[in-house]
Amino acid sequence: MPDLWTLTMEKSQEQQGWLIYKNNTYARFSCSRCPHWWNSTQVHITFLIKNNRFVRQGQVKMQIYRQGCRSCRTSLYEDPNISDENIQRAITNLINKIQRTFYVKNFRSEELEPVIYDDHSDGPHDKELCEECNLKDIWLQNQTLNSPRTPGVPQRDTDFRPTVTSYSSGLQSHVYQQPPDERIAGKVIAIILLFLVVILFLLFAGTLKRY
């Protein structure tokens, strides 16, 4: 990629004027109000992509959506715990999307599926407990009513911090402890650094091909 790209993680996104790319991954959730935990293969990720060819810079905004607990059914959304490998796969899919859209029109690549670490499941995806599904329903209601105002959506008391952790395929415990905030912040930084490293590698590889 001949342009400089940056990646930021955001809690809410204004999608107008951006290229929207959606990806699903696998993650584990742990309720902050009760001992219940659950796995989900429908953890929604939205990437907003914009490329300014005049200044040769691209920008990506990333949002990972949360889910609510089916056991206690509070109005709070819980942050997903995503493995390093699945984050890397989502970022690779993003980079391939950027390649196809802005640089190599006939660029061929298969969409990488997330790694499923545990077959335990609470059942099919519950749209009523999914943050993105609820936001989509609210948007559709506003479109129908033609209302400029957006109803409030239940949010967690704390800031959004998607957790990236490593899983073991033999993990069976029903009580899952979340890592401290310092580790969470470090993992988020690692995601951004991974994105930048891959971009620099592709840029270097493209430079070598010219010679």
Mean pLDDT across the stretch 112-117? 92
Instruction: Select the more confidently predicted residue: 124 or 175.
Output: 124
Q: Give the residue with greater pLDDT, 66 vs 208.
A: 66
Q: What is the pLDDT of residue 175?
A: 33
> pLDDT at position 10, please?
84
Tell me if 169 sits within 8 A of 20, measured CB to CB.
Answer: no
Range of the domain at 110: 4-210
By the 8 A CB rule, do 133 and 127 touch?
yes
How do strand 4-9 and strand 57-64 relate by DSSP bridges? parallel
pLDDT score, position 161: 45
- Residue of higher predicted confidence among 48 and 122: 48
pLDDT in tens, 88-113: 999 999 999 999 999 987 888 889 99
- The mean pLDDT value of the chain amounts to 75
Q: What is the pLDDT of residue 16?
A: 83
Least confidently predicted of 9-23, 34-48, 61-75, 192-206:
192-206
Mean pLDDT, residues 134-159 taken together: 53
171 against 142, higher pLDDT: 142
pLDDT (average), residues 187-201: 64
Q: What local confidence, expressed as pLDDT, does residue 163 receive? A: 44
Q: In the numeric block, which tokens belong to residue 30?
A: 């742990």
pLDDT of the residue at 11: 78
Predicted local distance difference test score (pLDDT) of residue 171: 29
What total of structural domains would you count in the chain? 1
pLDDT at 19: 94
Whether the predicted model's global pTM rises above the 0.75 cut = no
Averaged pLDDT for residues 49-77: 91
pLDDT reading at 144 higher than 90: no
